[in-house]
Chain A
Amino acid sequence: MAAKISGLLDIESLDRTEIEAILARAHFFQPAEGETFRRLDALRGKMIVNLFFEASTRTRVSFEIAAKRVGADTVSIAAQGSSVSKGESLVDTLNTLVAMRPNAIVMRHAASGAPHFLARHMQIPIVNAGDGTHEHPTQALLDARTILDQRPTLEGLRVAIIGDIAHSRVARSNVHLLSKFAADIVLCGPPSLLPRELEQLAPGVRLAYEMTEAIRDADVIMMLRVQLERQHEAPMSAGEYFRFYGLRLEHLALAKPDVIVMHPGPINRGRELSSEVADSQRSVILNQVENGIAVRMAVLERILGERL
């Protein structure tokens, strides 16, 4: 029996201490005003393969920059243009890559559980960069880092997550993370995108079908993209959706005065939030993008770095 290889598959199985360690290290990596990210050679000689079976620009680029900043070499593969389109199975693709002896694989896949499935068959650390509608662990970590830049603690914060929760891996990872820190979480969306069972996902979660109820006294509002590509039945019309679940400036008055607005991107102006909100002082959407690199540097270093 080979030794257990640990990557990062999901937030649910991480404990609070582990999360705190990553967030603290990410804080160390955050650049000062007007500077770029520091460059380390902690992972000199390590090879990381970014394997993206699903289109992504920001997450892939973020992982690439993060890997380079901690000194690793990276190769990125967009699986649409690879042997996958020639009918090769997932296991065979991975076996082929593993034979080239990388040190870790960062993967995004449209199927929930795909990295978990591979992790049971491969002797290599796998970092989940988003699996279907399951989890997106580094997104939740960078979101937590972004909140902590504005608030002293996650504990007791009121966080409203609004939109297509059913199909959101971002929502699931955030719920698990925030719940571990005893935040007060409200999930909000139209009933077909907000299954009742979500209430049992983690402690401290409740559901609301009305925006105003979800936003009242919120410290953090996380808006989610409507994932039309994952919906398999007639969605709510765009106009109807924005009217009832789109975030507009007037909503912000209901929240705490220093509320922050987040969005994992890419944003759809006029679909899930208005342009005014996206560009407002309350929006930290670009901070999230920046923190993505710091958090991913911390994750890669933790997985591949020398531990004394």
Chain B
Amino acid sequence: MTGSLLITGGRVIDPASRGDGQADVLIRDGRIEAVGTGLVDEDAVRFDATGKIVAPGFIDMHVHLREPGIEHAETIETGARAAAAGGFTTICCMPNTAPVNDSATVTSYIVQRAREMACVNVLPIGAITKGSLGAELAAIGSMCEAGIVAISDDGRPVMNARVMRRAMELARAFDIPVIDHCEDLDLSAGGDMHEGPESVRLGLRGIPSASEDVMVARDLLLAELTGARFHVAHLSTLRSVAMVAFAKTRGLRVSCEVTPHHFAITDRELETYDSNYKMKPPLRCQHDVDAVVEGIVNGVVDAIATDHAPHPGSEKMQEFERCPFGITGLETALGLALAELIHKDRISLIRLVELFTTGPANILKLDRGTLAVGAPADVTVFDLHTEWAYDVQQSFSKSRNSPFNGRRFRGGPLATIVGGEIVWNRE
């Protein structure tokens, strides 16, 4: 956008420059013009951020927008609005649409629709294999030219190790990361929740931790073999955290993300058979949650991503075992992160902002997630004390499948600025 915006008096936290202090941020023509104290621009629109935190725009590298093909659950427009209300200025959409984003045609369609309809930046992720069927490689090179930032067969992981190897080799050539939803489908087949004392008690079929762990192990070995950049989606188990940590010490180009629900709640929540607690990977037990939080604290975890997975009410209002996997998450992510990581004194604020900004930006090699002069003017304003409750009926998403309806939060997003324009404001 043209014109200027001056954000005044906030606490500016910019992990890219390790900056943390009171400053003004001046935006001009959609770019960061200056960050400093006492900035003046007579023509600028002013945004008073006194008492608030001003950070680079948050990036969610794992969302499902359901367009094209499943628009009754979500569209690029509604998903983007939910993202803005969650403080996200950039979201990456997974390819499991109908049709699957496995060609430049679908990629271009998403890019075009996003340009017309989305109030935040939408970056597509392409499929690894045609139709995400795990057999033939998708048109990875053409999709890169059309604008994908990574490849993944999220939700339908590539079971054939040879196919995965070839995909990693190609991804290395095109310099994009391979993102894997690590799940051995034979081990998890038929499972509805984490396998453990709770699944045995509730009489629900279990998904063992090992179904995630064996795939993380396989992929790490393939990443070493191919030299590819490999990213573990929604890491959820103690052993997977340990394996990623080990791979990093060996110098592999490996990264990982965790979701807010995997560090905030456990499989104890399932006892109501509420399908809003049903997702993959499943909510794990306390020692896994502790390991995930520890991974965030000690730096093994690179990013927080929501795995926002909208499903219409009719699909979630069924017997537990018939309900689809997945929950929405864009609007509650920051509130949960503050509750579990900041208010419990687990990490610093700059580390938190890093997990939402430079973390994903570095994985995807984006020129975003920073307040450096000249960077795109994506800014997230939030605070640590505003009391609010999440009302899923007020969600911008088309779907309502959140387990956090009614949950009270302390602190959360206040305003979202994309390319210098305020696209969402809590007031």
- Residues of A participating in the B interface, judged by any CB pair closer than 8 Å: 12, 89-91, 109, 111-114, 116-117, 120-121, 131-135, 166, 169, 172, 195, 197-198, 200-201, 232
Which B residues touch A198, using CB under 8 A? 200
In the complex, besides A120-B274, A172-B203, A232-B205, 11 extra interface pairs with C-beta distance below 8 angstroms are: A112-B203, A112-B321, A113-B202, A113-B273, A114-B320, A117-B273, A120-B272, A166-B200, A172-B201, A197-B197, A197-B199
Stretch of B36-44, B302-310, B311-319 contacting A (4+ beta carbons < 8 Å)? B311-319
**CB atoms of A114 and B319 under 8 A apart:** yes
B189: nearest chain-A partner, CB-CB: A232
CB within 8 Å for A113 and B320 given contacts A89-B314, A120-B272: yes
Asked whether A201 lies within 8 Å of B319 as measured between CB atoms, the reply is: no
Contact B318 A90 (CB under 8 A): yes
Interchain CB contact under 8 A, A169 and B203: yes
Give chain B interface residues in 280-326, CB to chain A under 8 Å: 314, 317-322
Give the A-binding residues of B (Cβ under 8 A): 189-190, 196-197, 199-206, 272-275, 314, 317-322
Residues of chain A within 8 A of B319, CB atoms compared: 90, 109, 111, 113-114, 117
CB-based nearest A residue for B273: A113
Provide the residues of chain A in CB contact with B197, threshold 8 Å: 197, 200-201
Chain B residues positioned under 8 Å from A201 (CB to CB): 197, 200-201
Provide the residues of chain A in CB contact with B189, threshold 8 Å: 232
- The answer on a CB contact under 8 Å between A112 and B320 is yes
- In the complex, what residues of B have CB within 8 A of residue A166's CB? 200
A112 / chain B contacts, CB cutoff of 8 Å: 202-204, 273, 320-321
Bound complex: CA A116 to CA B277 (Å) = 15
A33 to chain B, nearest CB (A): 38
Q: Contact: B272 with A134, CB < 8 Å?
A: no
Q: Output the nearest chain A residue to B196 by Cβ-Cβ distance.
A: A197
Residues of B within 8 A of A109 (CB): 319
Enumerate 17 A-B pairs (CB-CB under 8 Å) in ascending A order. Answer: A89-B317, A111-B322, A112-B320, A113-B202, A114-B319, A117-B273, A117-B274, A117-B320, A120-B272, A120-B274, A121-B317, A134-B203, A172-B201, A195-B200, A195-B206, A200-B201, A201-B200
Inter-chain CA distance A117–B196, complex, in Å, is 21
Residues of B contacting A120 in the complex (Cβ-Cβ under 8 angstroms): 272, 274
Contacts of A232 in B (CB 8 A): 189-190, 205
Contact A113 B317 (CB under 8 A): no
Give, as a whole number of angstroms, the nearest-CB distance from B392 to chain A. Answer: 16
- Report the minimal beta-carbon distance from B274 to chain A, rounded to whole angstroms: 8
A120 and B196 alpha carbons, distance in the complex (Å): 25
Closest to A91 in B: B317
Determine if B273 and A116 form an interchain contact, defined as CB atoms under 8 angstroms apart: yes
Nearest opposing residue in chain A for B204, CB measure: A112
Chain B residues closer than 8 Å to A114, beta-carbon distance: 273, 319-320
Chain B minimum-CB-distance residue to A92: B317
For residue B305, give the distance in angstroms from its CB to the closest CB of chain A.
29
Are B314 and A111 in contact (CB-based, < 8 A)?
A: no
Q: How far is B189's CA from A112's CA once the two chains are assembled, in angstroms? A: 17
A195 to chain B: which residues have CB within 8 Å? 200, 206
B190, B197, B206, B322: most-surrounded residue (chain A CB, <10 A) = B197
Q: How many Å lie between the Cα of A166 and that of B275 in the bound state?
A: 22
- Pairs A-B, 9 closest by C-beta atoms: A113-B273, A134-B203, A111-B319, A133-B203, A112-B203, A197-B200, A197-B197, A200-B197, A116-B273
- By a CB distance below 8 angstroms, the chain B residues around A172 are 201, 203
A195 to B204, CA, bound (A): 13
Assembly CA distance A120 to B276 (angstroms):
14
Residues of A within 8 A of B321 (CB): 111-112, 132
Chain A residues whose C-beta falls within 8 Å of the C-beta of B196 in the assembled complex: 197
Closest to B190 in A: A232
